[in-house]
A and B are shown apart, each in its own frame.
Chain A
Amino acid sequence: MKAGASPPPGIEEFRLPDQMHAAIVDHAMRDAPRECCGIIAGRDGMPMQLYETRNVATGNRFYEIDPAQLIDLEFRELPAQEFEIVAIYHSHPESPAYPSATDVELAFWPDAVFLICSLADRDRPVVRGFRIRDGAIDEVSLSE
């Protein structure tokens, strides 16, 4: 969706600046065939800083943000800047940019937008955003 365009009624909008979109795709490409992961911090739902994080999951088809890195972000780095976590991103190297059953089962952060970058078509990476709450998936409209 182009900047300035309005999402359809009832659809939540999340602003994802071009440079963060590009950073997520770049991270996904660098870490493939493993999944990449990271967070976007900001204020009042507005993204301000992207943090690449370590994926400590086993295998290529899962991610788990290093809990030691996450606890430092959540309780020290971000509060010091009056930031909060506004989005969590990860890649799907081989499948569409849509939450998997695993993504839904392990969605423990209802206040964050989940961004998924698909590399299923390496020439055309796709980033989409979702809310995942109580097992329900709602797509979020991404604007620049």
Chain B
Amino acid sequence: MQNDARITVLIPTPLRRFTGGEAKVAVAGSNVAEVLDALDDAHPGIGERLRDDSGQLRRFVNVFVNGHNIRDGQGVETPLSTGDEVGIIPAMAGGEGT
């Protein structure tokens, strides 16, 4: 089955409190949305940091698949297969403007 794909998810420092300090987590899923669902099932609370109520990625969170930003492609529908690496990175952003 396709969703048996085993995906490595890279967890950034600010979100490791949800994964018991682990920087890498392995979950199953056939696309990014499924992987993020599986990640939240395994580590409750992390999901709401990543996506809004409609399931879209939050503006200041970026997800990369094998080094490519999913915003430049199919977003959370980006397909995955075993061995793919999903990296999550919250923005470092701000500034004097409002």
Which residues of A are in contact with B by a Cβ distance under 8 Å?
A: 35, 37, 39, 57, 59-65, 67-68, 70-71, 74-75, 79, 84-85, 88, 90, 92-95, 99-111
Total contacting residues, chain B, CB less than 8 A: 21
Q: Which of B10, B60, B94 contacts A100 (CB 8 A)?
A: B94
Contact of B69 with A102 in the complex, beta carbons under 8 Å: no
Contact of A108 with B90 in the complex, beta carbons under 8 Å: yes
CB distance from B48 to the nearest CB of A (A): 13
Residues of A within 8 A of B96 (CB): 35, 61, 92-95, 100, 102
What secondary structure prevails in chain A residues at the interface with B?
mixed
**Bound complex: CA of A5 vs CA of B97, how far in Å?**
35
Q: Which of A102, A108, A110 contacts B98 (CB 8 A)?
A: A102
Which residues of B are in contact with A by a Cβ distance under 8 Å?
A: 10, 12-14, 23, 60, 62, 64, 67, 69, 87, 89-98
Contact of A74 with B97 in the complex, beta carbons under 8 Å: no
Residues of A within 8 A of B64 (CB): 67-68, 71
Q: How many A-B residue pairs have CB under 8 A?
A: 90
Taking CB as reference atom, which chain B residue is nearest A99? B94
Contact of A67 with B91 in the complex, beta carbons under 8 Å: yes
- Lowest 3 CB-CB distances: which A-B pairs, in order? A61-B97, A62-B95, A103-B94
Residues of A within 8 A of B95 (CB): 35, 57, 61-63, 90, 92, 100, 102-103
CB distance from A87 to the nearest CB of B (A): 11
Residues of B within 8 A of A88 (CB): 92
